[in-house]
Amino acid sequence: MKKMIIHSIPAGISFIGLEIFRHTLNPIVLRGPDFLKFYFSLVIGFYLSVFCLKFFKEKLSEITLYFMIFIFLLGIIKLFRGLSLDRPVGILFSILIAEVIVNIAFMSTEIKHKINK
């Protein structure tokens, strides 16, 4: 439960900011720069919460994995929407690649810890 709350805080803050500044709760309808601001704040906030858990020697749980998948799928959906509308998606693509690399790094450290124990 504690991990779910810790990971929900950045998501909640991002969606509250989305509602306050863009008057919507649907990030898919946002234009490119607005979506990138929202998505970048969501990704940075989430990974800061993961770093906090790692700092306090907590294990990453299934909840963390589900949040990673949710955030990644949100980016993929917007990437495909941008491609279908012939919009430039290079920055979003770069963020998604960086997200994959970071996810692999986190998952590999968790697998190493499970193997060593």
pLDDT at 13 over 80: yes
Both tokens of 24, joined, read 């919507």
Number of domains in the chain: 1
The closest alpha carbon to 97, from 66, 117, 67, 76, belongs to 76
Q: How high is the pLDDT of residue 117?
A: 63
pLDDT at 94 over 90: yes
Interval 7-15 mean pLDDT: 90
pTM (predicted TM-score): 0.87
pLDDT at 97 over 70: yes
CA–CA distance, 34 with 31 (Å, rounded to integer): 6
Provide the domain limits for residue 57: 2-116
* Most confident listed range (25-29, 61-65, 73-77): 73-77
